[in-house]
Amino acid sequence: MTSLDLTRGLGVCVIEAMSDLAPRIRILPDQVANQIAAGEVIERPVAVIKELVENSLDAGATHIEVEFRNGGKAYMRVQDDGCGMDPDTALLSLERHATSKIQSADDLNTIRSFGFRGEALPSVASVSKFTLRSRARGWTEGTEIRINGGKLLERKACGMPVGTVVEVANLFNTVPARRKFLKTDATESAHIIYLTRLCAVAHPQVAFRLLDNGRVVFQSPACLDLRERIGEIWGPSLANDLIPIEWQDDQNPEMRGMRLHGLVARPGQGRATRRDMITLVNQRPVESRTLGYAILDAYHGYLPRGRFPPTFLFLEIEPAMVDVNVHPAKREVRFRSEGTIRRFVVEAITDCLSRFQESRKVSLPQPKARPSDTDQAAETADRDKPMADPSLAQSDPRAPAAEVAVYANPLPSAVPLPVAHAKVDPAHTDPPTDRPSPKTLTRTSFEQEPKTSLADWRYIGRMRERLVLLESADGLVLLDLAHARQRVRFESVVEQIGREEADSAGAQSLLLPISLELEPLLCTTLETHRALLARGGFVVEPFGRHFYRIEAIPAWLDPGSAESLLRDTLEQLREAGGGANERLAAERFARLAAVFSTRSESTPDPAAVMRLLADLLACQHPHTCPRGRPTMQLLTHAELNRRFASTQKDAFPR
């Protein structure tokens, strides 16, 4: 079999073959160089899929099928019914910098197509076992070209319908250094699935089908509109909750020609991660800080801090206003005028959300969530009243899961903390049956013997909803109810999950199971962490493809919040990827649980406050909430004396 070095360009190879001038050994460094360059564009399987799908879209395909095995490492295939290539074009397409899409550097300013570097096919072909089959319109047969590691193996005619199929096997087999950097099959699969979904949502009118190891991950026929496509892929419940946005501002000369459209979350409809905050520029899914900030900015006041709205936002602008050539994989874009774009997007979303609020005021004079409503609705109702106190908004109990990992807040050093090693007085604790006795918590950080007992504490009163004033042996203590509850819940959940087996006392069975529809990736996450969730109180059973039933929930949890907590947990666990070990997974769950446990809590009476205090003082880390914010502040007797008494004689009697 003749072996051509495709990576050097066909023309050069032919001359070499004829004149036989070049010593064979010169080819190697070149090829190595090519493989390295290829590695930069094609860093992992998903990059191959992306390039191939973009080629199919550029070719005007109406049906695209993507298949992969073993996270794409073993095999990938992208098949389309686009314009196809005639035999010469097919061969030419495998030459480096051969592209039909631009002719000069100036064309980069007017790019409308997805591809433009003319590098993808040769790059992929140089690091895999590669087969291209293509038939152009007007041709009776197609061409098949087989390449292995950049060497042309075979080119022959083949029977096939109009369109193109590219198969890529054994990616990076000849480049062990690259292969080493690939993640687990599950992680690589997750990337491919996510990307394909983005491509599908960017082009609702194109039918998509995605297969993983022969199993259909999703398939969607050509859709009439975006909402239908989102419903097909993300599920109807999300799709139906989104509100449409359509914005242009031709009055403003800066913004002329820009358009923002798509679907966005309604007020209060937030997620724990930014994964579903999807932005596209000229139909290209992109990550853009500018757009991300603009969205969060616009949702300020409509969502608690740290929650992320699902959005499917399409920005259309002049190609000259955006630089798509800043990222090797074209994932990021840079705008020529970031400020204008940002203002445009903020205005558009703000207008959309306030109109939505207005329309609801008219149609629903008393927006009040029924108890049976989903958490989202409850959140929406909450958000209907503007946030009066920004400081409270900040420490919203539903706050972020994404941020909870930060234990940054140092404790204020000026105010000494109460000695927290109080003995738990059984008379006062009387723990409600729904939580494990605090005494079962292991104490590791205690160095001193407890100095005070709970009997030394006295309830004084409450102020500003969630602050409790207490007198302790050391002075006046201000206790933050929300933070204290979160700490107690966090440790009790970690303890509960850490047990060998699920404890039925930790769960409440639901008379009416809650049905749950999950996107494929979350199904996988759920399966992975099923046992852990069960120990945390969630019993979830499969109920058809992508459907589950929540049969039991943690005993302490308000059933109305069950689905949200489970979803947020799954999203967090998915975000952590396959690498999340049991302990970290348990902590993520517990942090979310902590946040959720303060949502439905009613105002406690003094006895309940004392029970909470007992539980708190029995915690391993009683001084902070799981996010590191203080649970209490102490004004010592000495401090009180310093402030009020001028002489020793004057001091307050103890």
Binding to ligand ADP in span 2-41, by CB under 6 A: none
Tokens of 397: 């109990």
Q: What mask of x and - would describe binding to ligand ADP in positions 547 to 576, judged by CB under 6 A?
A: ------------------------------
Which long-range CB contacts under 8 A does 622-625 form with residues at least 24 apart? 622/420, 622/487, 623/411, 623/417, 623/420, 624/407, 624/409, 624/411, 624/483, 624/487, 625/480, 625/482, 625/483, 625/484, 625/486, 625/487, 625/490, 625/594
522 makes contact with ligand ADP (CB under 6 A): no
Tokens of 326: 């800043």
What does the DSSP 8-state code read for residue 26? G
116 makes contact with ligand ADP (CB under 6 A): yes
Classify the C-alpha dihedral 639-641-644-645 as positive or negative: negative
Closest CA to 379 of 309, 305, 311, 304: 304
DSSP β-ladder status, 458-463 and 539-542: unpaired
How far is 285 from 311, CA to CA, in rounded Å?
12
Q: Residue 162, SS3?
A: coil
Residues with Cβ within 8 Å of residue 297, at least 6 apart in sequence: 342, 346
Q: Which stretch binds ligand ADP (CB under 6 A): 117-125, 240-248, 334-342, 505-513?
A: 117-125
Between residues 118 and 310, which has the closer beta carbon with respect to Mg ion? 118
Name the minimum Å distance from CB 118 to Mg ion.
7
The residue from 120, 264, 497, 533 that contacts Mg ion (CB under 5 A) is: 120
Q: Which stretch binds Mg ion (CB under 5 A): 54-62, 124-132, 185-193, 194-202?
A: 54-62
Write the CA distances from 516 to 31, 148, 332, 524, 547, integer angstroms. 51, 46, 34, 14, 6
Binding to ligand ADP in span 158-197, by CB under 6 A: 164
SS3 content of the chain, % helix, strand, coil (to 5): 40, 20, 35
Helices marked H in 430-552 — which ranges?
481-498, 520-528, 530-535
Binding partner selected for residue 278 from ligand ADP, Mg ion, none, CB under the kind-specific 5 to 8 Å limit: none
Name the minimum Å distance from CB 63 to ligand ADP.
12
Q: Which stretch binds Mg ion (CB under 5 A): 52-60, 89-97, 426-434, 578-586?
A: 52-60
Binding partner selected for residue 593 from ligand ADP, Mg ion, none, CB under the kind-specific 5 to 8 Å limit: none
Name the minimum Å distance from CB 304 to ligand ADP.
43
Classify the C-alpha dihedral 277-271-568-559 as positive or negative: negative
Q: Which stretch binds ligand ADP (CB under 6 A): 96-104, 152-160, 375-383, 629-637?
A: 96-104
Between residues 222 and 329, which has the closer beta carbon with respect to Mg ion? 329
Name the minimum Å distance from CB 173 to Mg ion.
23
Number of residues counted as binding ligand ADP (CB under 6 A): 22
Between residues 118 and 267, which has the closer beta carbon with respect to ligand ADP? 118
Binding partner selected for residue 80 from Mg ion, ligand ADP, none, CB under the kind-specific 5 to 8 Å limit: ligand ADP
> Phi and psi for 561 in degrees, rounded to 5?
-100, 0
The residue from 71, 115, 506, 536 that contacts Mg ion (CB under 5 A) is: 115
Write the CA distances from 327 to 35, 330, 331, 393, integer angstroms. 19, 5, 6, 37
The residue from 7, 35, 55, 269 that contacts Mg ion (CB under 5 A) is: 55
Q: What mask of x and - would describe binding to ligand ADP in positions 54 to 83, judged by CB under 6 A?
A: -xx--x--------------------x-xx
120 makes contact with ligand ADP (CB under 6 A): yes
325 makes contact with ligand ADP (CB under 6 A): no
How far is 593 from 598, CA to CA, in rounded Å?
9
Between residues 329 and 510, which has the closer beta carbon with respect to Mg ion? 329
* Residues contributing to the site for Mg ion (CB under 5 A): 55, 115, 120
* Residues contributing to the site for ligand ADP (CB under 6 A): 51, 55-56, 59, 80, 82-85, 93, 98-101, 115-121, 164
